[in-house]
Amino acid sequence: MINGLHVSWQTLALVALSTVSIYISLIAFSRIAGLRSFSQMTNFDYAATVAFGSITATTAVSSEVSLLQGMFALAALFTTQSLLAYLRKLRRVEQVTDNRPLLLMDGSRELRENLDQAQMTRNDLYAKLRLAGITRLEQLEAVVLETTGEVSVLTVDPEGRPVDSRLLSSVDGPQRPVRSGLPTHTADSPEPTDPSSEPATGSNENR
């Protein structure tokens, strides 16, 4: 026993062995599961990353959790994450598991309702803009709060071209940007039709 610490060398050796073993297991499982393991692309990826850390720490220092239990928990969590990532290819599953990105600014215009929904203040928003290197609000095309909590800042194209609407097609409102060219129809309104598919009228009818 170490004087004054009330812990034996044997206990410390077991903690060290458990720490190294569970860490190696974590790396091994992440190699098997692939690059997505710690990517934090979505909210469920972030939750899985937090859980990985919790399992690793608990297994390393807790005498109530064996190394085998910790390894099994890691394997189960990696399997769940991989399965969920695969199932997210289905639209319905993705809608259940994922939050939607939220538009915070359309150009230099702040969307106050969306900021309130995200529980962000103007100071929070401006701090993110400074970190992105923005010096003038006129530089902005769109600002989006991603599902991971990160803020994406899209700047104005030097040639004046709008943001490709496909990049913002999954971004939630409730207000929709006009400057960036996002479609303004809602889920309850009909999809815009292709003019080329409409029957010819006017001069063609008179022929």
**Alpha carbon distances (Å) from 178 to 114, 143, 149, 181, 182:** 15, 13, 24, 5, 6
Whole-structure pTM value: 0.61
Q: Looking at domain 102-168, what is its CATH homologous superfamily?
A: bsu07140 like domains (3.30.240.20)
Strand 151-155 with 102-106, pairing: unpaired
pLDDT in tens, the chain (207 residues): 555 566 677 878 888 888 999 999 999 988 888 777 777 677 778 888 889 999 999 998 888 888 899 999 999 999 998 888 888 888 888 777 777 899 999 999 999 999 999 999 999 999 999 999 999 999 999 999 998 888 999 999 888 888 888 888 888 874 444 454 544 333 344 444 444 444 544 444 444
Give the whole-angstrom CA distance, residue 111 versus residue 103. Answer: 8
Q: In this structure, is the dihedral angle defined by the CA atoms of residues 192, 196, 198 and 203, taken in order, positive or negative? A: positive
The domain ranges of the chain are: 9-95, 102-168
Question: How buried is residue 48: exposed, middle or buried, by Cβ count under 10 Å (0-12/13-18/19+)?
Answer: buried
